[in-house]
Structure 1
């Protein structure tokens, strides 16, 4: 039975679980003294006959705190949103929790709403929405974008954000969320305008009408359309299909270059160079 528990839990086991499986305190100590098990915290052990995986490391981080909840980028790993476990794992513990953080573990002290916590594979972890918001402060706004296209919804993200209004990283997540709720497109357009202006490019105009649609930024003489995609359009079926129809109309008459918020904030020089290359080539 003990082997089944270890296999199910990535080689990690607590003293309480070992006793439930039939091991006495003396037997547990014998396994530790013989080197079969390694004690990683009080009442927490790993079997040394198997690799110490990222999954095992995440379990140890949470279980070493007793009542902790895997949070942030570590929670993103546990939920399958990323494939890489960060070196320092964040665990949220109650404000009244005692003890110090183990090596490689960062404790965040606050009381989580039960609506933001779920147990998955024996580990308490923040739910998808809070995980996306908290992990985005480390992994970037592209995590929000990606999950809006997959599993998350804007209303659920907003509810999680409002329930956790004063947590660490709240302001960064709020900026990403407001962008996703509709501000990204307009703010990204302003960034694009500033980029073109600073780059000395001329001959363009904003909100150029064509074929019953409006082009975000157009070089009419060159038939070059610069389209700025907001995040939320990916997760809204109606907007998505309208955007596809609009794209089909434009590409019959224009060269279309598309950018998102991440492009304009993380690689603006590359964006400007790409636009400049096209402008120079056709002038």
Structure 2
């Protein structure tokens, strides 16, 4: 039973689990003193005969803050497979009346989570998928791409909106609200406004918005250089007919001598300098 706990839990075990496996408190102490186990927090231990993985680090951080602690933010996003980059620190949400402080490498947030925003995954309490997407999307190191990717295959927009309403006032709620508004259909028009602001701020002129060419309207056109800037919304809104129409439109413009640059709302909001750099390169080369 002890080996089964360690195998399933990335080498991490609690004192209560060790006792259920038949170990006495003194037996646990002996393992720690001998160096076979490492104490990671109050009543939490790691069997030091294996690498201390990211999963082990997260389990230790969450379990070390009590039975009601929950992995949240980027930590929950990594645990649920929403992002591949390992979090630099573990974020743990605990009830408001909890005591204790975060250890090195652990950020503690105090908030009373609702039952529908907590679930157990591989024995660990984690914020629910919808709340995790909202929080991770608003964190530095996360961003709108997490929300867009999750909306494509794992969560519905209505689920995100309900989770947002249940958790108003949380850290990052304002940023998440703006992303939800964009995801609801305003991303493309908002992105066009942002590109126009970028061009004006960089004092780049010679362009026209909503420029008609043949059967199409170019979002932003540099007429002299024949450079077309096309703005997309969120990837999760794309369907097969829209994809085919965009390709048909782009091919027609190319045959008429236009160079087409495509940017998404995510490009413009997360990498505006790259967007400007590519536009400058295109108009200076023609």
Taking structure 2 as the reference length, what is the TM-score of the superposition? 0.89
Q: Match of 1:60?
A: 60
Q: Match of 1:250?
A: 250
**Could you tell me whether the CA contact under 8 Å between 1:224 and 1:256 is conserved in 2?**
yes
Equivalences, count:
279
Q: Match of 2:15?
A: 15
Deviates most, 35-44 or 144-153: 144-153
Q: Extract unaligned runs of 5+ from structure 1.
A: none
Question: In the TM superposition, what are the counterparts of 1:192-207 in structure 2 within 5 Å?
Answer: 192-207=195-210
Q: Distance in 2 between matches of 1:8 and 1:182?
A: 43
1:177 to 172, 175, 180: 180
Q: Distance in 2 between matches of 1:53 and 1:273?
A: 39
- RMSD of the TM alignment (CA)? 2.1
**Could you tell me whether the CA contact under 8 Å between 1:90 and 1:106 is conserved in 2?**
yes
Taking structure 1 as the reference length, what is the TM-score of the superposition? 0.90
Q: Distance in 2 between matches of 1:243 and 1:214?
A: 17
Q: Distance in 1 between matches of 2:43 and 2:263?
A: 52
Q: Measure how far apart 1:228 and its partner are.
A: 1.1
Q: Match of 1:272?
A: 276
SS of alignment partner, residue 138 of structure 2: helix
Q: Match of 1:6?
A: 6
Q: Distance in 1 between matches of 2:203 and 2:96?
A: 54
Q: Measure how far apart 1:220 and its partner are.
A: 4.2
Q: Measure how far apart 1:194 and its partner are.
A: 2.2
Question: In the TM superposition, what are the counterparts of 1:149-228 in structure 2 within 5 Å?
Answer: 149-210=152-213, 212-228=215-231
Deviates most, 22-31 or 246-255: 246-255
Q: Measure how far apart 1:266 and its partner are.
A: 4.0
Q: Measure how far apart 1:237 and its partner are.
A: 5.2
**Could you tell me whether the CA contact under 8 Å between 1:153 and 1:235 is conserved in 2?**
no
SS of alignment partner, residue 248 of structure 2: helix
Q: Distance in 1 between matches of 2:159 and 2:55?
A: 27
Q: Measure how far apart 1:155 and its partner are.
A: 1.4
Change in Cα spacing, 1:276 to 1:85, as seen in structure 2 (3 Å) is: closer
Change in Cα spacing, 1:119 to 1:206, as seen in structure 2 (3 Å) is: same
**Could you tell me whether the CA contact under 8 Å between 1:185 and 1:229 is conserved in 2?**
yes
Change in Cα spacing, 1:280 to 1:177, as seen in structure 2 (3 Å) is: same
Deviates most, 143-152 or 213-222: 213-222
Change in Cα spacing, 1:198 to 1:93, as seen in structure 2 (3 Å) is: closer
Q: Match of 2:117?
A: 116
Change in Cα spacing, 1:100 to 1:273, as seen in structure 2 (3 Å) is: closer
Q: Deviations over 1:9-31 (max 9, x none)?
A: 11100011111112122222221
SS of alignment partner, residue 166 of structure 1: coil
Deviates most, 10-19 or 29-38: 29-38
Q: Match of 1:31?
A: 31
Q: Distance in 1 between matches of 2:90 and 2:63?
A: 12
Change in Cα spacing, 1:10 to 1:25, as seen in structure 2 (3 Å) is: same
Q: Distance in 2 between matches of 1:43 and 1:281?
A: 65
**Could you tell me whether the CA contact under 8 Å between 2:73 and 2:132 is conserved in 1?**
yes
